A = this chain, B = another copy of it.
Amino acid sequence: MRIQVINPNTSAHMTDAIGDAARAVAGPGTEILAVNPADGPPSIEGHYDEAMAVPGMLAKVHDGEQAGVDGHVIACFGDPGLMAAREVAAGPVIGIAEAAMHMASLIAPRFAVVTTLDRTRIIAAHLAEQYGMARHCCAIRATEIAVLELDDPASDARARITAECRAAIEQDRAEALVLGCAGMADLPRALSDELGVPVIDGVGAAVKLVESLVGMGLGTSKAGDLAYPVAKTYTGDLGRFSP
Q: Which residues of A contact B (CB under 8 A)?
A: 10, 25, 27-29, 38-43, 45-52, 54-56, 58, 81, 83-84, 86-88, 92, 94, 98, 102-103, 105-110, 117-119, 121-122, 126, 129-136, 146, 169, 173, 175-176, 188-189, 192, 196-198, 200-201, 204-205, 208-209, 211-213, 215-221, 223-227, 229-230, 232-239, 241, 243
Contact yes or no, B232 A42, CB < 8 A: yes
Q: Name which of A43, A47, A126, A225 has the most chain B CB atoms within 10 A of its CB.
A: A225
Residue A54 contacts which of B51, B213, B219 (CB distance < 8 angstroms)? B51
Contact yes or no, B107 A238, CB < 8 A: no
Residues from chain B with a CB closer than 8 A to the CB of A119 are 224-225, 227
List 28 A-B residue pairs with CB atoms under 8 Å apart, sorted by A's residue number: A28-B28, A28-B29, A38-B237, A39-B235, A39-B237, A41-B234, A47-B83, A47-B84, A47-B86, A47-B87, A48-B84, A48-B87, A49-B230, A54-B54, A102-B106, A103-B213, A105-B131, A107-B221, A109-B225, A110-B224, A118-B224, A129-B130, A132-B133, A132-B134, A146-B230, A175-B223, A175-B226, A200-B216
Docked pose: A223 CA to B168 CA in angstroms: 13
Residues from chain B with a CB closer than 8 A to the CB of A27 are 27-28, 215
Docked pose: A233 CA to B50 CA in angstroms: 14
Residues from chain B with a CB closer than 8 A to the CB of A129 are 130, 135
Least CB separation from A38: chain B residue: B236
Number of this chain's copies in the assembly equals 6
Docked pose: A211 CA to B207 CA in angstroms: 12
Measured CB to CB, the closest approach of chain B to A237, in angstroms, equals 4
Docked pose: A225 CA to B235 CA in angstroms: 33
Q: Name which of A48, A55, A108, A109 has the most chain B CB atoms within 10 A of its CB.
A: A48
Docked pose: A229 CA to B43 CA in angstroms: 12
Contact yes or no, A41 B232, CB < 8 A: yes
Indicate whether A38 sits within 8 Å of B235 (C-beta atoms), given known contacts A81-B51, A225-B122, A226-B109. yes
Indicate whether A236 sits within 8 Å of B10 (C-beta atoms), given known contacts A54-B54, A132-B136. yes
Measured CB to CB, the closest approach of chain B to A108, in angstroms, equals 4
